[in-house]
A and B are shown apart, each in its own frame.
Chain A
Amino acid sequence: MIDTEFFNQLNRFSLMVRKRVSSVYAGSRRAVLQGRGIEIVGYREYMPGDDIRTIDWRVYGRTEKLYIRKFEEEKNVTTHILLDSSKSMDFSSLSSGMTKFEYAAMLACGFGYLVARENEKFAISTFAETIDITPPKRGRGYLLHTIDRLNQHKLQGNTRFDECTRQYEKMIRSKSLVIIISDFLTDLDSIRAGLYMLAPNDLIVISVFDPAEYDLTIEGDAKLHDMETGEIRKTYISPKLKEDYKKMADLHFGGIRETCMHVGADFFSFGTDRSIFDAFLETVRAR
């Protein structure tokens, strides 16, 4: 369950973080791209293929030449938050019972809250085997609606990261801020492919893990059930296997970090035992 107390915390500290957070959303930035907008930035002669609605007839009246109006593109940037809702996110080893999904959802809502407060558009879409695309909207009401939706969301399925990002990328019309929050427990190549697809956007990648995932607490004979695939593995968890497991995890997340560096994305990794507010603050400060 998403704890709304977190928003109160954000409110209390909003003054402190405002300046830094202001750069997170696009409201204060001027776009450099030209496109459809309101303010006219100039004219040029009509070329076949141009939208005839953009012809300035007044200028034609004066010069008898066809000129079209050039507009400044809309300067507001939409924030797209992709939240992993695969079955593996339903894991918790903490006494508080906080799952990785709850933690990730609170982070996502935190970003949504900040954006909504500036009256910018945002969307929190969940993904697992497929992506549940939610259109970006403004307003706190929309945020509350999203929180409600996330609370009701049932976690299931594998993570098909590359497929989901491919679908979502088609929906993004202009350069946006994309925040991905996931445990990234899927094939590294799939993750790389997905990140490259979203690379043209402003990208923030947040990895969420449970402490027990990183340091295996089990040992001896064990019957392991994979949460996503349901695969069962009977094995003996020896100290050597634990050591190798940790190396594999380091290798996996190291690979993601390296890809992020390559595409110019910010990468953060948080254990669910860490205060959400601290994690959120760290993410914001870094920008």
Chain B
Amino acid sequence: MPFSFANPLAILALSSLIPLIILYLIKPKPKDVEIPSLIFILDAERREDRHQTILKKVVRDPLMLMQLLFLILLTLAMMSPSYVTTADVRADHTVIILDASASMQAEEPSRFDLARAAAEKFVSGKTSIILAKNVPILALDSGSKSDAISVLQRIQPGATTANIGDAIILAKSMIEDGSGSEREDAIVIISDFSNADFGSISSAKMLANAAGIDVTYKQVGSDVGNIGITYGKPERKGETYNYLCTIKNYFNDARTVPIEVFRNGKKTISSSVTVQPRASELFALKDLAPGATVIALRESEGKRGGESGSDLFDVDDRAYIAIPDAKKRRIMFITETESKNPPAKIAIGSLQDTECSVVKPPVLPSFDDYDIVVVGTVAKDSLLPGTFGDLASFVVAGGSLVVLASGDLGEIATENVLPVSVSGKAGSAALTIRSSSEFTKDIAFEDVSVGKHLKSAPVNGSVVTVVADDGSPMLAYQKHGSGTVVYFGFGEGDPEWNDFHTRVDYPIFWRQIVDWMSGVRGIEEYNVRTGRVYPLAEEQEVLTPAGTVTTDNLLFDSAGGYRIGDLDIAANLYDPLESDLTVPVVSEEARILKPDTARAEVEKGLWGYLTVLVMFLAGFELYYLRARGEL
């Protein structure tokens, strides 16, 4: 056992022994005294502390020995000795990645509870904890043991998938940023590895290993069956919404599941569906009213309590549906076209939840009573002076304006409201989509045949979505104050100009652009899948299934209803892979839920022990003097 000294020069402190030894040497010899009553001395000595007597027997001058030992040990402590030995070692900094996906909520006790208990065994001197959801969430950064235990007791799994690969990358960067030394660091992943992307996990593990970080898998959970809602979608049907969902049975036997439907808290339908083993069944609802609808599978609740083959996974047993309130949007369509029904007017007029008023210039009603103003074909002299000034004010105040291309548009004073500047007319052109937006979704602009168009250029700050091959924007928009102005280069629907108005996606385009401009999102925006991140304009309170949170970046990590201001959103797992609770075999070692230790050579310092010994000796010397009655 080779010893080494961190501060070898401290041996010079041994010179302090010299005066002590000299004092001892020049100390007068004990007096020779004849005494008749030695028996009392012997009796008195017997009365003294037994240890003192032994000490006296062993050494002639215990005090001197204690002082010598004190100085020697003090010198040794100052030299900071250490020795190298082999010992079981654990990481200095352990990053624990806990799978917090929906499947971790399965079983009784839950897989997450098992993972949490296992994680406590891995807590080392410095511990970080990452929750692996669809995005990794840092729960603890380099905390102490007590911090780690406290965090482990607080955290809960979400209803999302788990991206363990990303969590490993985050852990690796944390370790690299934090240590930078040769210390032993480790990453421990505790998961059921159900629905795990082993490709990304292996890649991330290799990266961490390359950086000298040990990555260990620990697996919890066992194969269990499940029956749940693995897909669901509300769809608009005319004025109402329909809903269709898939109920999948992961058991090896057919199951009949009672279904209850609650609308705004009231049970409205009780039904049941029988699902064959490893198969799916569809379940549909019609005419969903605005508000919250919940579909609940009751199979799991009836058989809770660990009965073999019962459903032990709640997250997918309920589907939450949010249907927004229908609100009429008022649209003013300004046109001079002789035809009573230009295609654009027909398309806009046929939109649900809209009231379209067609007005002819020059006298126009107040714009303030409308949500959207559409300027169609107008002659350069038709509009009263100041009309575009009023429109500009309307937009600045939050209104929406759509300006359709027409022959005289280039000559009308538009008060710089348009997102384009028109310079003339041009002939045929091929179109391309420059950037997609919500209102261009599913519209094949490339197939539109253009015979004539306005030559124009985008102004500063405008966003061009569809452009002609001569660079003229065909569809562009720009924020103007609180409102938005859209330039629609296809006109009202003149066959000489283009054939867009004859295409099937023409009315779809108008629905999408009117929805977009009036702030009405698609139904899918009200019904999201868990794991989605929803950026908010500012930090605000959000009511979630787990309680109220204040955030500017909301993560839908639980299934259920969310309320952001006056906006209701439903979040559901809808993930057939996450609902499949089969646990893949990772390795035998992964099933052993305790820390791996390795035999390694470690340097053990003796400074602490020696200091304690010196303190003890000093205390003992004081005790000895006190026992002798000299203190």
Contact = CB atoms under 8 A, between A and B. Distances in A.
Interface of A: 87-89, 91, 100, 183, 185-187, 210, 213, 218, 220-229, 231, 233-236, 238-245, 247-249, 252
A30 B35 CA distance: 47
Contact of B56 (A87, A235, A244): A235
B629 interface: yes
B45 A235 contact: yes
Given A234-B30, A239-B628, A243-B629, A88 B44 contact: no
Contacts of A248: 39-40, 43-44, 47
Contact of A241 (B30, B39, B628): B628
Nearest to B31: A222
A236 B38 contact: no
A226 B38 contact: yes
Contacts of B22: none
A227 B36 contact: yes
B45 A226 contact: no
16 contacts: A186-B39, A218-B33, A221-B28, A222-B30, A222-B33, A223-B32, A224-B35, A225-B33, A227-B34, A233-B42, A234-B60, A240-B630, A241-B48, A244-B47, A245-B43, A248-B39
B36 A185 contact: yes
Nearest to A88: B36
A91 B45 CA distance: 23
B629 to A, nearest CB: 3
A239 B38 contact: no
Given A234-B60, A239-B630, A225 B44 contact: no
Nearest to A228: B36
B629 A224 contact: no
Contacts of A235: 41, 45, 56
Contacts of B33: 218, 222-225
Contacts, number: 105
A88 B629 CA distance: 29
Contacts of A222: 30-31, 33
Interface SS of B by simple majority: mixed
B628 A236 contact: yes
Contacts of A244: 43-45, 47-48
Q: Tell me what chain A mostly uses at the interface: helix, strand, loop, or mixed.
A: mixed
Contacts of B30: 220-223, 234
A28 to B, nearest CB: 39
Given A239-B629, A240-B627, A227 B35 contact: yes
B181 interface: no
Contacts of A239: 628-630
B41 A241 contact: yes
Interface of B: 27-45, 47-48, 56, 60, 627-630
A91 B37 CA distance: 10
B44 A247 contact: yes
Given A225-B35, A241-B45, A247-B47, 8 more contacts: A91-B34, A100-B36, A223-B32, A233-B42, A239-B628, A243-B629, A244-B47, A248-B40
B37 A241 contact: no
Of listed B27, B28, B39, B60, residue having the most chain A CB within 10 A: B39
Shortest Cβ-Cβ A-B pairs, 9 listed? A240-B629, A239-B629, A88-B36, A244-B44, A238-B628, A221-B30, A226-B38, A248-B40, A248-B43
A121 B49 CA distance: 54
Contacts of A100: 36
A226 B43 CA distance: 14
A186 B60 CA distance: 28
A221 B31 contact: yes
B41 A213 contact: no
B628 A240 contact: yes
Contacts of B629: 238-243
B44 A231 contact: no
B158 to A, nearest CB: 72
Contact of A224 (B29, B41, B628): B41
Contacts of A228: 36
A242 to B, nearest CB: 8
Nearest to B60: A234
A272 to B, nearest CB: 12
Nearest to B625: A238
Taking each of B60, B627, B628, which has the highest tally of chain A beta carbons within 10 Å of its own beta carbon? B628
B621 to A, nearest CB: 14
B44 A241 contact: yes
